C-alpha cells in the first residue's frame, strides 16, 4: 500500500466507495465521475503503478473479475480501457481498468 494513493485508501476502506464486485486481488467500484451510466473501475488491491507492473499471474483473475463485474452491472455492451502512462491519460498511478457499459443513446464516443 502507498499512503498517498487514493486507490490504496479505497482498498483499505479509509475512503468510501460503492462496491460492485470483489475477488482476492481486485475490487470493482463505481467511478465517482462516470463517463456513462454504470462506469466502474477494477482496481488491484496491491499497489502496482500500472498494467506493466502487475504480475502476469494475476491476468486470469483480472479477466474473471471483469466478467463478474460486467454481469453485476447488467451490461450487454461495454468498453474496457486501461490507461498506462501519462501520454495515454493515466492520472492515478495505481493499476485500474475502466468498464464502460454502453447504451445506444449514451452519446459517449470511445476514440482511438
- pLDDT tens track for 20-40: 999 999 999 999 999 999 999
Instruction: Supply the pTM of this predicted model.
Output: 0.94
pLDDT of 1 above 80: no
pLDDT of residue 50: 97
- Which of 26 and 107 is assigned the larger pLDDT? 26
pLDDT of 112 above 70: no
User: What are the residue numbers of the active site?
Assistant: 96
Strands (E), the chain: 19-22, 26-30, 40-44, 77-81, 96-102
Residue 44's closest CA among 2, 89, 100, 101?
2
Among 16-20, 65-69, 86-90, 108-112, name the one with the lowest average pLDDT. Answer: 108-112
Amino acid at each position: 500500500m502507498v499512503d498517498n494513493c487514493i486507490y490504496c485508501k479505497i482498498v483499505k476502506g479509509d475512503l468510501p466507495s460503492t462496491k460492485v464486485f470483489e475477488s482476492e486481488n481486485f475490487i470493482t467500484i463505481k467511478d465517482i465521475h462516470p463517463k456513462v451510466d454504470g462506469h466502474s473501475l477494477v482496481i488491484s488491491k496491491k499497489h502496482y503503478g500500472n498494467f506493466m507492473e502487475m504480475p502476469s499471474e494475476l491476468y486470469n483473475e483480472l479477466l474473471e473479475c471483469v466478467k463478474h463485474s460486467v454481469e453485476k452491472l447488467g451490461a450487454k455492451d461495454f468498453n474496457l480501457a486501461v490507461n498506462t502512462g501519462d501520454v495515454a491519460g493515466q492520472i492515478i498511478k495505481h493499476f485500474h481498468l475502466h468498464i464502460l457499459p454502453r447504451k445506444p443513446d449514451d452519446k459517449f464516443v470511445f476514440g482511438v
